[in-house]
Structure 1
């Protein structure tokens, strides 16, 4: 067991990806009014989405994606696997038609050979390894094997005894196929593609899995799930499943294959027997997932090593069969209108899916309060922000804390400077969000639609020493309150003595 854990610890350095983690989206096409590929690409660009996964290799879509820089993963559909898995020539023809003909104008970076084949089409599993190898051989022949990785998305259901993660293992009946696949992934420096759906885990648990645990909501330590073997604490289903995959691979002696999650999400609407398929839950899950990836939190077993993830999915697919929830996993409808506005901070412009350009600048989660205070003082002073609404008795005085006051000052400066990304930095303590921080009678400039650039206004540096009365009053108020509080504590201490 000790050797087993040492191998896993060694894997941490090998699993770390060379690139920053990313959030991508899956693009399904089962819509009665599927947007034209150029419309799809326009939406992707507007949302700053840099990674997409297609469930096929649609020629019109690949042409529309050309010269966009968007990284594209294409798919060999399940129905084509038998032909490709039995013929090297068929695989070569597929690669020639769908990769060579479009690369490098279209930035194809990966190929999914089938999708959940081991669970969805077990009778085709026998040719899956051959299909993977034949596709890769065709890439080698075209000198594209380093640019285009090959793998196959697997359902997380093939991982048995998934909690605690340290005891997880793959369904042994699949080992005759899984082991050659893992050999291939390791030898080609590719990655394990895994589909993770906490929604289904939650629904099938009969109340054992708490909803907050499935939705990435913060949990007190006593509510977290603990792996009794490693004593690692898990605060969400997603991390537990990712670590279960790493442990399952280690059980078969594969310790240097990274995981990429090819599908994860939450439905925004369901039938009466799907009460937790709601807009709020979908928003919470996807917003928290995106922040989790971009924060590079990693998993309890691999802290700091974020798992890049493709959200399922870009559009609601109204032609999907099955329960109502199957039609409602999308971030947008067919017209490109958001199903809900993601609660995002810290992800920059990625998937800031507010098409009305409603963005705000607020203090970054976890930033040093002292740095936020310094930035607030600068904004209300040298930054020349009108901070009088933050004074006592004014609309934005409550809540009376540095975060709330900084949010207002940062957003005011951001709007004053024309909403340029550079105007929402404040030495790293601010970030752009699509969530309107306005509250009560405190209306933020962005929510009023003000977006002027103040033509000849020159932004001062945060090193500027200029002053303003609003800044001074606010700063003095803060310092007086701080002194009064400190005096109170000293008097209390003397009384107790």
Structure 2
């Protein structure tokens, strides 16, 4: 048994060195993004949203479609935007000609005036309830990338965001591994990312872990409060004082175990709900403000994860607005930093934002994160 433990320890230390030795070559990321969801019937017009983002000094956003009104309104601005291919379209993009037609009709008309920097092909496809979607993912990703290259826009990155549920194990971080049933397609996808130098995007929510086990998991740890005892990975001896970083490093280890070490991990969604049902433990304006405020503080400090401390973790907050038409539990409709009338849900200190003329800033102003996808989030 002692020999086995010793061998495992050496293996994990090797993986840690394997990961960190090459990741350092990835350029520093120096901005924060926010998800701009539209599953609501009361949101401000895109030109007003653009003004809001400019006031907040945010220069990166992500939408869950290719809304023409948004793409047109964001033209000639300094906002970089990531767009999304809806899941129901993936099967059509198996055909290279269909993919070329999709790019020609949904992307090219807005370039270069609108700064489209990325295309997310589907949303959480690896864990979608429709298993047939997965077989279309890698061909669709490759075909869209090839179409962009053919049209002279190979600088637009093509990837897909995954739920943390793609991991079979995530604790401790060094035990991170992908679910065996998706390993074949995941290898193909990672090979594409490695070849094109494109990041792996993960939707990571410490809130879900705390909600499922609030009596065991310390709230300070999931919120990222300092100081807190946190946890030490028994194999790498790395100390984690917040769960989000542990989740990200678990993905790094899972990628390394597939044989890749030059793929950067970025967070496409993370946040905390300001309201929830009675069984959604921890959903409150106070916790949401604390989680997001701590995350912003770490971003301003250029923090990386314990495994890759030199690489600032790029994060997209979830999300800009509360979305009243989202299905699922109450929390799904209450991740937004702002209410639809542009008043803050709660204050996280991004900037002093003037609210609508009929509202006044208060201590209840809130910074929440919400998804723009119509489906509910997938718990790990």
Measured against the shorter chain, the TM-score band is 0.7 to 0.9
> Which residue of structure 2 aligns with residue 101 of structure 1?
109
Structure 1 residue 435, shift from structure 2 partner: 11
Partner Cα separation in structure 2 for residue 278 and residue 332 of structure 1: 15
State the match for 1:69 in structure 2: 78
Q: Distance in 1 between matches of 2:19 and 2:279?
A: 42
C-alpha separation in 1, matches of 2:113 and 2:27: 23
Match of residue 92 from structure 2? 83
Whether 1:288 and 2:294 are equivalent positions in the alignment is yes
Match of 2:201 in 1: 193
- Runs of 4+ in structure 1 over 4 Å off: 1-4
Structure 2, unmatched stretches of 5+, are 1-7, 364-380
Distance 2:362 2:324 in 1: 28
In the aligned structure 2, how far is the partner of 1:99 from the partner of 1:9?
40
Residues in 1 aligned to 2:255 and 2:237: alpha-carbon distance in whole angstroms: 20
> Do the aligned residues in 2 keep the contact of 1:294 with 1:306 (CA within 8 Å)?
no
Q: Tell me what 2:375 maps to.
A: none
Deviations 1:84-123 (A, max 9, x none): 12x1111111111222111111011100000001111322
The Cα of 1:69 is off from its aligned counterpart by: 1.7
Q: Which has the higher contact order (CA 8 A, sep 6+)?
A: 2
Aligned to 1:244: 250
Instruction: Call closer, same or farther: CA 1:239–1:435 in 2, change over 3 Å.
Output: farther
Aligned-pair CA distance for 1:245: 0.5
- How far did 1:31 drift? 1.2
Instruction: Name the Cα RMSD after superposition.
Output: 1.9
| Matched residue, 2:369 | none
Moved more, 242-251 or 201-210: 201-210
Q: Does 1:323 align with 2:329?
A: yes
Q: Is contact 1:215-1:236 (8 Å) kept?
A: yes
- Indicate which of 127, 135, 152 corresponds to 1:126: 135
CA distance in 2, matches of 1:179, 1:279: 40
Q: 1:25 aligns with which of 4, 25, 34?
A: 34
Question: Tell me, which stretches of 5 or more residues in structure 1 are unaligned?
Answer: 345-350, 358-433, 437-497
Alignment partner, residue 150 of structure 2 = 141
Q: Which has the larger radius of gyration?
A: 1
Tell me the SS of whatever aligns to 1:101: helix
- Cα contact 2:12–2:174 (8 A) shared by 1: no
| 1:334 paired to 2:335 | no
Counterpart in 2 of 1:454?
none
Matched with 2:368 is none
CA deviation digits over 1:471-493, x for unaligned, max 9? xxxxxxxxxxxxxxxxxxxxxxx
Structure 2 CA distance for aligned equivalents of residues 57 and 19 of structure 1 = 28
Q: Matches of residues 393-412 of structure 1 in structure 2 within 5 Å?
A: none
Cα deviation, residue 15, structure 1: 2.4
Shift of the 137–204 alpha-carbon distance from structure 1 to 2, 3 Å rule, reads same
User: Which whole-Å CA distance do the structure 2 matches of 1:283 and 1:261 have between them?
Assistant: 19
Preserved contact between residue 198 and residue 237 of structure 1 (Cα < 8 Å): yes
Q: How many residues align?
A: 349
Aligned CA distance change for structure 1 residues 19 and 231 (closer, same or farther; 3 Å): closer
Deviations along 1:275-330, whole A, 9 cap, x unmatched? 41110100001111111122122111111322101001000001111111111000
Is the counterpart of residue 9 in structure 1 residue 17 in structure 2?
Answer: yes
Structure 2 length as normaliser, TM-score?
0.88
Q: How far 1:265 sits from its partner (Å)? A: 0.3
Matched, 1:309 2:315: yes
In the alignment, does 2:67 pair up with 1:58?
yes
1:12 deviation in Å? Answer: 2.9
Give the whole-Å Cα distance in 2 for the aligned partners of 1:74 and 1:53: 6
Give the secondary-structure state (helix, strand or coil) at the position aligned to 2:107.
helix
Give, in angstroms, the shift of residue 50 of structure 1: 0.3
| Separation in 2, partners of 1:326, 1:138 | 35
